[in-house]
Amino acid sequence: MPVGTLYGISVGPGDPELLTLKGLRLLKQAPVVAFPAGVGGQPGIAQQIIAKWLRQEQIQLPLTFPYVQDDHLLMQAWKAAAGQVWHYLSQGTDVAFACEGDVGFYSTFTYLAQTLQHLHPSVEIQIVPGVSSPLAAAAVLGLPLTLRHQRLVILPALYTATDLENVLGWAEVLVLLKVNSVYKQVWEILHRLQLLERSFIVERATQAGQVIHHNLVEKPNLDLPYFSLLIVQAEKPIR
Ligand SMILES: C[S@@+](CC[C@H](N)C(=O)[O-])C[C@H]1O[C@@H](n2cnc3c(N)ncnc32)[C@H](O)[C@@H]1O
């Protein structure tokens, strides 16, 4: 029996209308729709985004991906999730995995897909790109993310103060993801480099509860949610 296809569907940053037409079509067609399980019994963000598009007869498959750094625990979780998805694929049933933002941009989907490919090399995977958070945040700020020849750097959470200063000596536009856990240190560095007036934060871009912070000079102590990012638009590299 031919195996089913796993579709990695980018569902965008929050507003359900930011799902692509192709993503929506494949999501509606799939007999099984998987997504990262929420924490504390709450629906996860991808699940919330797609909720209005799902049909009752579709099987919903929440998959658990723990927020830990331990490689062994992560591997176990990816294998368990791959097993749950393979259960359907091996019977010839397609599975659509919904992922917040874009599936290829710092996304859980990649680990699931790689684990599946490793365990079952015959598996067929198709990816549907989508709107990722830096572009959504720039749009809600009413700014272009980049212009002309500006150099753009995007850093995930695990950067050091030195990384940040080096990058700011080189790039004109900087995006910091997962800034909530390191905001205080970032604020100090931007303050020292006199960049706070050229920095913006968007909390929950395009989601209910979206908040925008312009000019961070007066805001050294923001309590930010996980879905927050910071954009620095330095006119030119600092050095
Ligand atoms: C693991 S990354 C996932 C990125 C996602 N795949 C994307 O394409 O945007 C999670 C980080 O992305 C950023 N992020 C994702 N969605 C966001 C949103 N709607 N508003 C603000 N930041 C967001 C936050 O910095 C968050 O900590």
What is the number of alpha carbons within 13 Å of residue 222 lying toward its C-beta? 28
Task: Tell me the CA–centroid distance for residue 107 and ligand 1, in Å.
Answer: 9
pLDDT for residue 12: 98
Task: Tell me the CA–centroid distance for residue 6 and ligand 1, in Å.
Answer: 23
Task: Tell me the CA–centroid distance for residue 2 and ligand 1, in Å.
Answer: 35
For residue 35, give both structure tokens.
């997504």
For residue 43, give both structure tokens.
């629906």
DSSP calls for 4-38: PEEEEEE-BSS-GGGS-HHHHHHHHH-SEEEEEPP
Q: Buried (b) or exposed (e) across 153-171, using 16+ Cβ within 10 A?
A: bbbeeebeeeebeebbeeb
User: What confidence tens digit (pLDDT) does each residue in 53-80 have?
Assistant: 999 999 999 999 988 888 899 999 999 9
User: What domains sit in the chain, N to C, each tagged with a CATH number?
Assistant: 5-128 (3.40.1010.10), 133-233 (3.30.950.10)
Residue nearest to atom 23 of ligand 1 (CA): 227
CB 136 within 8 A of CB 13: yes
- With a cut of 50, list the residues of the chain below it in pLDDT: 239
102 lines ligand 1 (CB under 6 A): yes
207 lines ligand 1 (CB under 6 A): yes
The values of phi and psi at residue 143, to 5°, are: -120, 150
| Placement of tokens 């000019």 in the chain | 215
48 lines ligand 1 (CB under 6 A): no
Task: Tell me the CA–centroid distance for residue 113 and ligand 1, in Å.
Answer: 20
53 lines ligand 1 (CB under 6 A): no
The values of phi and psi at residue 175, to 5°, are: -120, 130
pLDDT for residue 239: 44
10 lines ligand 1 (CB under 6 A): no
- Closest Cα to residue 32, out of 9, 15, 49, 11? 9
Q: What is the pTM of this model?
A: 0.93
The minimum-distance atom of ligand 1 relative to the CA of 99 is 6
196 lines ligand 1 (CB under 6 A): no
The minimum-distance atom of ligand 1 relative to the CA of 180 is 27
